[in-house]
Amino acid sequence: TRTTRPQRLLKAVQDRAIRGNPKSVISVIDHYCRNQEWAMNVGDEKGFILDSVVSELNPQTVLELGTYCGYSAVRIGRLLHSGARLLTLEFNPDYAAVAREVISWAGLENTVQLVEGASGDWIPRLREHFGIHTFDFIFLDHWKEGYLADIKLLEECRLLRKGTVLLADNVVCPGAPDYLEYVRKSPLYDSRYFKSHLEYTKAEDGLEKSVYLG
Ligand SMILES: CCc1ncnc2c1ncn2[C@@H]1O[C@H](/C=C/CNC(=O)c2cc(-c3ccc(F)cc3)cc(O)c2O)[C@@H](O)[C@H]1O
Ligand SMILES: [Mg+2]
């Protein structure tokens, strides 16, 4: 049977990237997705904005919603300092299997932990299961209609603290209108839009950065 898109992306990483070198894993995926087969990674242009937010914050505890092939987990994980941890949630077992390989090829298996399952099931259990108190940084890149429910659940579970930064991908394309309205109207957040482009294309897209005011 045919391979899947994520499996073909993984093969490109294994064939072309240098083991243990996150930078080469990132550039191989970007080159492959720009020149051979598009995939819904945050990509290099929005990825540069993601890098600057993470580098400025220097977070110790990070949560990612929606691992897919692990591109943004590698992007974020490579910037974390020793002792810092990224938990990434992915409910599709096939995507999770590919992402584990990509994360391992980048040599980030001790920094990035992939947890298989639905965000709504796992968020209420993160404290007791992983000893997490609160998150410093959260990257939202899963189903766009799930963003709003998950940010409210994170509030309810008290996993946000004064200054927690949430960064949401695709707030223009495909769009997350209910999430945008919420974070921009709520007095709990200080929100701003970083205009960019949809990965590997000229279409507009952007990231919404929201700081929880607590
Ligand atoms: C149940 C909660 C829950 N819990 C845990 N994991 C979950 C989950 N819900 C989903 N997942 C996983 O997350 C990833 C989904 C990501 C969804 N992303 C886009 O749809 C998207 C689309 C475009 C675009 C496509 C086509 C265009 F023409 C334009 C733009 C561009 C982008 O950057 C995009 O991120 C997959 O791995 C899911 O298995
Ligand atoms: Mg995305």
Q: What is the pLDDT of residue 1?
A: 77
Ligand 1 pocket, 143 CB below 6 A?
yes
Q: What is the pLDDT of residue 182?
A: 98
40 C-alpha to ligand 2 centroid (Å): 6
Ligand 1 pocket, 174 CB below 6 A?
yes
Ligand 1 pocket, 122 CB below 6 A?
no
Q: What is the pTM of this model?
A: 0.99
Atom in ligand 1 nearest the alpha carbon of residue 67: 37
CA distance 115 to 39: 22
Q: Which of 126, 143, 171, 204 to mutate to test the pocket of ligand 1 (most atoms within 8 A of CB)?
A: 143
Catalytic site residues? Answer: 141, 144, 169-170, 199
12 C-alpha to ligand 2 centroid (Å): 20
Q: What is the DSSP string of the chain?
A: -PPPHHHHHHHHHHHHSPTT-HHHHHHHHHHHHHHT------HHHHHHHHHHHHHHH--SEEEEE--TTSHHHHHHHTTPPTT-EEEEEE--HHHHHHHHHHHHHTT-TTTEEEEES-HHHHGGGHHHHH-----SEEEE-S-GGGHHHHHHHHHHTT---TT-EEEES-IIIII-HHHHHHHHH-TTEEEEEEEEE-TTSSSEEEEEEEEE--
CA distance 156 to 30: 37
pLDDT digits (tens, 9 = 90+) for 97-139: 999 999 999 999 999 999 999 999 999 999 999 999 999 999 9
Per-10-residue mean pLDDT, the chain, length 214:
95 98 98 98 98 98 99 99 98 98 99 98 98 98 98 98 99 98 98 98 98 97
Query: Is ipTM over 0.95?
Result: yes
CB 183 within 8 A of CB 208: yes
Ligand 1 pocket, 88 CB below 6 A?
no
**Sheet with 61-65: strands ordered across:** 112-116, 85-90, 61-65, 137-140, 165-168, 204-212, 189-197
Which residue type, as a one-letter code, is found at position 203? A
Count Cα atoms within 13 angstroms, Cβ side, for 168: 29
The ligand minimizing its distance to the Cα of 200 is: 1
Burial of 187 (0-12, 13-18, 19+ CB in 10 A): exposed
